[in-house]
Amino acid sequence: MQPSTPLARTAAGLLLAVASVQAQSAPPSIQPHGGLWPVQAGFDFELGKKKALKTRQSVSGIACSLNARQERVCLLAFDEGVEARWATLKNEAMVAEPTPLPLRDNTGELDAEGAATDGHYFYVTGSHSAKRNSCESNPHSRHVIRFQRDPATGRALRSASAALVGYADTGRLWSVMQAQPELKAFAKEQACLGTTAGVNIEGLAVRDGRLYFGLRSMAAVLAVDADALFSPSAAVQATVTPLVLGTGRGIRDMEAVDKGFLLLAGPDDVEVHQRGVGWTFAWWDGQASPTPVTPKLLASLDLSKVKLRDCDKEIKPEALTVLKETPSSFEVLVLSDGLCDGGPLAFTVPK
């Protein structure tokens, strides 16, 4: 007899997928090359010294593209506060720009965890999770934001009054998650992370008009049509694809690549997995499936030789951008929560 519920079917498929991932040969261990990239000037936040440092250490998402001058301009999201920032990547360095980009009003913690661009829009998502220590529901985190990109500058397109063109802010994703059989047991109020496995979005990617939200708490990808999500009267059709990333791992970020998605995986929300569960890169073809899928494991990250600076706290890779894709590898830049200004690290990831 087949399992009768979506969760039961997922559990049954998970056993098969775990066997599949165990059968994969051990991936190569890769170290960053060149050490931490310098961040010219560093990001400046008009906050108290302690809060400003904590915010500088909270980079959680990055979305980059080439502007008309072929400069790689990036939007950086922080999981503290409600401001994003711009930076330019060049000559193995990141140039931080001082002008803040307010994403929402300052009435609550957005907890921005992912950023993406399709060349036309920028997208930023909140975590949609409860507060980590108190388990208190945080409706301020249940927002997805988009605004138009200026192809000339690579930054936000602004009107004559300096307003963001095409700016939209939706809270509909929360109800979309509650409508999914695979997620409704987790998209609930006061769902403590790591215990009741509450929803926790950490990755975001966009391709062909669809948004892909990577879940850390349960290693799954929720995909929805972007225009429908931002249209209050439109029905939102969603898919949920569970992924097998290894014991104790969930999605920390993801980006669309030539024939699928590059995934950055790391410790999920369970407390005992915060030590001893490392970070990996994997490739997923992007095909939706109701049963667990095992992405191709590409590499594990060896961070043992990364030297922390005076302003760094710890290294927790949380954001990636692909600098170059070749037939044999991805050139990737990884930013970390816990490192000042993201502490950019470059990796060559074999396919």
CATH number, domain containing residue 147: 2.120.10
Residue 286 is assigned to a structural domain of this protein = yes
Written as six digits, the tokens of 46 are: 């008009």
Q: What is the pLDDT of residue 26?
A: 86
pTM of the model: 0.92
**Cα–Cα distance, 279 to 300 (Å, whole number):** 6
Residue 13 is assigned to a structural domain of this protein = yes
Residue 36 is assigned to a structural domain of this protein = yes
Tens-place pLDDT, residues 135-180:
899 999 999 999 999 999 999 999 999 999 999 999 999 999 999 9
Q: Mapping DSSP to helix (H, G, I), strand (E, B) and coil, where does residue 89 land?
A: strand
Domain that holds residue 252: 6-350
* Average pLDDT over all residues of the chain: 92
Q: Give me the mean pLDDT over the 202-219 stretch.
A: 96
**Cα–Cα distance, 10 to 27 (Å, whole number):** 26
At 167, the amino acid letter reads Y
Q: What is the pLDDT of residue 1?
A: 40
Tens-place pLDDT, residues 21-59:
544 678 999 999 989 999 998 999 988 889 999 999 999
Neighbours of 310 (CB within 10 A): 5
**Cα–Cα distance, 78 to 63 (Å, whole number):** 12
Residue 31 is assigned to a structural domain of this protein = yes
Residue 1 is assigned to a structural domain of this protein = no
Residue 324 is assigned to a structural domain of this protein = yes
Tens-place pLDDT, residues 76-95:
999 999 999 999 999 999 99
Residue 95 is assigned to a structural domain of this protein = yes
Q: Which of these, 117, 110, 122, lies nearest to 55 by C-alpha position?
A: 110
pLDDT of 13 strictly over 80: no
| Domain count of the fold of the chain | 1
Residue 80 is assigned to a structural domain of this protein = yes
Tens-place pLDDT, residues 238-263:
999 999 999 999 999 999 999 999 99
